[in-house]
Structure 1
């Protein structure tokens, strides 16, 4: 099954992210338990606010749909979502594919 690099671009609402972070992490953790979210996390402090999620899905549209119920998205804390199909070639993740 393909893997998609899903990029969140956060809004400026850091207080909202702080408030909803536990539910956000729980939601993405549940996707991980189902084998959908392979890995995810925020960009570093010197980068634009956002995050990378590696999502396993049949299509790009399905990958983005998996994020629609994320509390960060439901509470309008993500200003933009983009996705690209990504092919792991080297490393542990590639070996597991």
Structure 2
């Protein structure tokens, strides 16, 4: 399996984001338990609203299929996303991705 870096850009609808956050986090927790989610989290408070997810998947299409089932994607909190293969090479955390 490869690692894919997925970036989310969120809509400006903070109320929708807040309402769907529990379902979104429950879904991501399930991906973590299944070994498909390495880590995820939002951008900092001074950044545009969005998040980064590092996913284990067989292909970019498989990573997109995982995000397609995310409640944030389903209800329109995520208005744009990118999926890119990530190749960890250096640093003490690179073994996390093995």
Bin of the TM-score, shorter chain as denominator length: over 0.9
Structure 1 unpaired stretches of 5+: none
Higher helix share: 2
SS at match of 1:25: helix
TM-score w.r.t. structure 1 length? 0.95
CA-based RMSD of the aligned residues comes to 0.8
How many residues align structurally?
Answer: 96
TM-score w.r.t. structure 2 length? 0.94
Alignment correspondent of 2:27: 27
**Alpha-carbon distance in 2 for matches of 1:30, 1:91:** 26
Alignment correspondent of 2:81: 81
Superposition deviation, residue 61 in structure 1: 1.1
Runs of 4+ in 1 over 3 A off after TM superposition: none
